[in-house]
Structure 1
Amino acid sequence: MPEEKSAGSETDFESIWLRLVHMIIIAVLMSMASSLLGLLTVAQFVIMLFKKREPNDQLAEIGTTMGVWMAKAARYQVAASEVKPWPWTELD
């Protein structure tokens, strides 16, 4: 008599593959965010050179937001959280 798959295990199986898709998308986004953060860092340094060490507040805020996003993304990637980062949830 063959064993029947329970609905729960099939859902779990689909769920783990969907999580993999999310993890791949997030990994690509994290790579892009890292590159953008490098560009912002250089831009902020140049601005500070010409403005007597005065940082650009908008660049600083973008960097802070990116840092929060990257932390949430990293927590999801290593399964420390089930909360997916933006674009699946609000960007705080």
Structure 2
Amino acid sequence: MMVKDQETPSEAAKDADFESIWLRLVHMVLIAVLMSAASSLLGLLTVAQFVIMLFNKREPNDQLAEIGTTMGVWMAKAARYQTAASEVKPWPWTELD
């Protein structure tokens, strides 16, 4: 009589780790695309803010400044996840602070 091989707990953990590393790769690729888009948007916001300041006596638009701050925080979180300095994924997986 043949006994079917059963996975030990350590083999199951290895399988889960293997699957999670590939899921992390998917997240990393998605975040890289989002970071590229964010970088382009930041360039547009920079030009817009400069033009506003040019015609508004050097006064920046507060809303654009706040968007820039939020984007900076998001990009920092994304960079930390991309480089494995953190396991916390940025928005849209977590709250946008």
State the TM-score, normalized to the length of structure 2.
0.90
Matched, 1:21 2:23: no
- One-letter amino acid of the counterpart of residue 81, structure 1: S
The number of residue pairs the alignment matches comes to 90
Residue 63 (structure 1) shift: 0.2
The runs of 5 or more residues in structure 2 that have no matched partner are none
Cross-structure match for 2:12: 7
2:54 maps to which of 29, 49, 52: 49
State the TM-score, normalized to the length of structure 1.
0.95
- One-letter amino acid of the counterpart of residue 67, structure 1: G
Residue 58 (structure 1) shift: 0.2
Which stretch shows the higher mean deviation, 4-13 or 77-86? 4-13
Structure 1 stretches of 4+ with a deviation exceeding 3 A read none
TM-superposition CA deviations, 1:7-61 (whole Å, max 9, x none)? 0000000000000000000000000000000000000000000000000000000
Structure 2: how far apart are the matches of 1:48 and 1:55?
5
* Percent of aligned positions that are identical: 87
How much is the aligned-residue C-alpha RMSD, in angstroms? 1.2
